Amino acid sequence: MKKTDAIAMLLAGGQGTRLEDLTLKNAKPGVMFGGKYRIIDFSLSNCFHSEIYTVGVMTQYKPLLLNRYIGNGNAWALDKVNQGAYILPPYMREDHAEWYRGTADAVYQNFEFIEMYDPEYVVILSGDHIYQMNYRPMIEQAKEKDADLTICVRTVPWEETFRFGIVDTNEEMRIVDFQEKPKDAKNNMASMGIYVFKWSVLKEALEKDHYDDASQKDFGHDVIPRLLNEEKNIFAYLFDGYWRDVGTVDSYYQANMDLLDQRDDLDLTKDKLRVYSNNENREPHFVTKEANVSNSLIADGSYIAGTVKHSVLSRDVIVEEGAVVEDAILFGNVRIKKGAVVTRTIVSYNVVVDENEIVGQKDSENVTLYTGEASS
């Protein structure tokens, strides 16, 4: 197969336990976002805008919905000749079968896929972040600096540094130190989990990691520190756009609410970095003359007769007359009956909120995750 300059390997097998009931039946990258999208849409759309048309998607936990959703990548215009999105689950080998043991091991188990394309660079991505980015300038920087590894970084609040890999650079943006989720960080420059590796360097590093019994098979914990000790050319690429790790209920809720602020750095429909999805088209939503709707995203097939303020509604949602939905996220096929009030809440799929029921507290610091009793 003709050599290409870059392919992407997308890590999408995470269980996402901190998202609680949102991931009971679906992997975290497959969770709905913004009414009609899924979290993984961001990474796949970014690949299209970066002219990376070969994407290996490594799935593991609850993969059925995600596998069906991604298909061959045609929804994101990745289905070029001999290219596309490819689902890469763990599989039986000659002597054994095993789950992906970590982020590094997931890529290692798919060496044969990468070798089919023989790329100059391999872009490692996570399928559970909300951001819009063209990876091409990062790849070009890697070429200019002859970098063995380039890590995409951004500043984070000091109180959140313990959640990330923290890098220290010199004046040339060469990384001289890396701390994985430190208790006492040296600075607040955090890795976004986006890596551009020379394929030759990645292959050698993961082969060493595979045979290291003490390794946790993780890029941040094991592979990057090893490459630093070997004095490889490792550089940082600074990203200053919108980015959020939606690994918790609170961060997921806040990212949805950010959509309502009309931010320049989070605009899902702007042509330059538009986000695409594979959700089927439905009939238009309908808002009655009695309804009161403001500053909200409402997806296809929804029927609104009540009050909806500062909320995100997925498809086929019904808000009956006299019902109030405010500062909320409603997943698909939810019905809010007459007189019910839903505030500062994420309502899961297929839930009916009964007449005059009150869910959530407007002034609470915490977000309510409401699963209710699923309708038949």
Q: 240: which 2 tokens? A: 């200053």
Tokens describing residue 102: 């970590």
Other Cβ atoms less than 10 A from the Cβ of 163: the count is 14
Question: In the predicted model, is pLDDT for residue 374 greater than 50?
Answer: no
> How large is the average pLDDT for residues 195-214?
95
pLDDT in tens, 307-326: 999 999 999 999 999 999 99
Domains defined along the chain, listed by start: 4-259 (3.90.550.10), 286-370 (2.160.10.10)
Average pLDDT over every residue of 124-151: 96
Do residues 28 and 14 lie in contact, with contact meaning Cβ atoms separated by under 8 Å? yes
CB within 8 A of 170, min separation 6: which ones? 176
Q: Give percent of the chain with pLDDT exceeding 70.
A: 94
Name the least confident of 6-20, 31-45, 161-175, 260-274. 6-20
Which one has a higher pLDDT value, 374 or 237?
Answer: 237
- Is 181 annotated as contributing to ligand binding? yes
203 is in an annotated binding site: no
Calculate mean pLDDT across residues 266-281.
85
Burial class (CB in 10 A: 0-12, 13-18, 19+), 341: buried
* Whole-number Å distance between alpha carbons of 237 and 152: 5
Mean pLDDT across 321-339: 97
Contacts of 46 (CB under 8 A, 6+ apart): 125, 131, 132, 133, 134, 135, 273
Dihedral of CA atoms 110, 111, 114, 118 in degrees, nearest 10, equals -170
Q: What band does 19 get if pLDDT is binned at 50, 70 and 90?
A: confident
Listed residue (60, 58, 30) closest to 278, CA to CA: 30
Residue 16 predicted with pLDDT over 60: no
Q: What is the pLDDT of residue 82?
A: 86
The reply, when asked if residue 20 is annotated as ligand binding, is no
CA nearest to 33, candidates 221, 237, 246, 213 = 246
The model's confidence at residue 376, banded by pLDDT at 50, 70 and 90, is: very low
Question: What pLDDT digit, counting tens, does each position of 227-269 carry?
Answer: 999 999 999 999 999 999 888 899 999 999 999 998 889 988 8
pTM for the full predicted model = 0.90
Average pLDDT over residues 111-134: 95
CA atoms within 13 A on the CB side of 66: 34
User: Kind of pairing, strands 189-198 and 121-126?
Assistant: antiparallel
Is 13 annotated to bind a ligand? Reply is no
Among the listed residues 133, 100, 103, 114, the one whose alpha carbon sits nearest the alpha carbon of residue 54:
114
**Distant-in-sequence, close-in-space partners of 323: CB < 8 Å, separation ≥ 6:** 305, 306, 307, 336, 337, 338, 339, 340, 341, 342, 353
Residue 372 has pLDDT above 90, yes or no: no
The pLDDT score that the predictor gives to residue 98 is 66
Answer positive or negative: Cα dihedral of 280, 283, 289, 290.
negative
Distance CA 322, CA 132 (A): 38
Residue 165, annotated ligand binder?
Answer: yes
φ/ψ of residue 76, rounded to 5: -110, 15
The percentage of the chain sitting over the pLDDT mark of 90, rounded to a whole number, equals 75
What's the pLDDT band for 15 if we cut at 50, 70, 90? low
Closest C-alpha to 41, from 255, 307, 218, 342: 255
Taking only the tens place, the pLDDT of each residue in 27-79 is 889 899 999 899 999 999 999 999 999 999 998 877 788 888 999 899 999 98
Predicted local distance difference test score (pLDDT) of residue 266: 93
Q: What is the mean pLDDT of the chain?
A: 91
